[in-house]
Amino acid sequence: MHYPTTDMDQMIEQLNQLQLPSSLMGSFDAYREESVKSAAQGLSPAQLAWFLDMLNRFRGPDDHKESLIDVFDPGMYTSNHPAWDAAPGTRIELPALTSEVAKTVDRDSEFAQIAREEVRSFQDQTSTYSDDEILGLAQIARSALADQSKVFQGREDAVRYLALNASAQLEDLWACDDDAWRKAPARQIEFDDMVAQRKSQILRMDHAKPHFNEADFACYSEDEIRTFAFDARNLFLTDRAKHLAICTRCQNRLEYWADLVEKFDRATPQRSDRADA
């Protein structure tokens, strides 16, 4: 059965999209999402779906992605990057883009051989797309990669950029031997304060009932988190329960402590009500 969308449903959907970043990498990903939304304005959902389908066919059946922002992900192979644990910020260092690495490698290297084949393959995949479509997709890729200074010099430049940065084969090479990437200069990326931007967006939400205020953005103390973990009712007895809906950091902290409490309860022998013989 289909139920009509309510104001509360819309509010929850908006809050899910406006979670406060809990780390530097989270801030950077939020910036990428906003940049891609801006770059994709004017393109229909059907057109974006065709782009994703084409890119997944180019990548191969074992390397499909769920979205364009996942295809063009500058954070690949950065699971140990300190930005995952650092506080939210506005500056991050990441490895050079594959399209930049390609300018520095030896023409006879394995990298260069794979790159040439990938560019040829992508040219075939995109032969039915117009110049405007290819350049539009390249702008989306540029935004997702936070390649802030890139300017495309026409279709051929855009095709090469897309092929190199979407290539699953070059990703596999990186995973096996990242020497070429490590030799290339790292990127220093500065971006907007996404925590402040998310706060501003939440405060302006049309469907936010009850409304949020500045006090709702303050994280819970460790004592509060432990108290909530032992009895969730304590959270709703405070006047700051709304914070949990927008803060991934506090959500993760509460989940961690709740798991500890559950494990402790399971490990504690249950007291018997039977009298001793």
Out of 6-10, 11-15, 89-93, pick the least confident: 6-10
Predicted TM-score of the model (pTM): 0.72
**Integer Cα distance of 53 and 66 in angstroms:** 10
Q: What is the average per-residue pLDDT within 78-90?
A: 84
Residues composing the chain: 277
Separation between Cα atoms, residue 146 and residue 168, nearest integer Å: 19
**Each residue of 256-272: pLDDT tens digit?**
888 888 887 777 765 55
Mean pLDDT of the residues in the chain: 84
Q: Would you call 14 helix, strand, or coil by DSSP?
A: helix
- Inter-residue long-range contacts of 200-205, CB under 8 Å, 24+ positions, other chains counted: 201/18, 202/15, 202/18, 202/246, 205/11, 205/14, 205/15, 205/18
Report the distance separating Cα 145 and Cα 64, nearest Å: 18
Give the mean model confidence (pLDDT) for residues 27-56.
Answer: 92
Smallest CA-to-CA distance from 256 within 210, 225, 223, 219 is with 225
Using alpha carbons, select from 258, 236, 233 the residue that is nearest to residue 245.
236
Q: Torsions phi, psi of 207, nearest 5?
A: -105, 15
**Rounded CA separation 229/215 (Å):** 21
| Structure tokens belonging to residue 13 | 């959907």
Residue type, 134: I
- Backbone φ and ψ for 224, nearest 5 degrees, come out as -65, -45
Q: What would the pLDDT profile of 132-142 be if each residue is shown by its tens digit?
A: 999 999 999 99
91-94 and 187-190 beta bridge pairing: antiparallel
Give 71-129 as a 3 state SS string. Answer: HCCCCCCCCCCHHHCCCCCCEEEECCCHHHHCCCCCCCCHHHHHHHHHHHHHHHHCCCC
Please compute the mean of the pLDDT values over residues 6-25 and round it to a whole number: 61
CA torsion sign, 120 to 125 to 129 to 134? Answer: negative
- Backbone phi, then psi, for 50, in 5-degree steps? -65, -40
Q: Is pLDDT larger for residue 176 or for residue 266?
A: 176
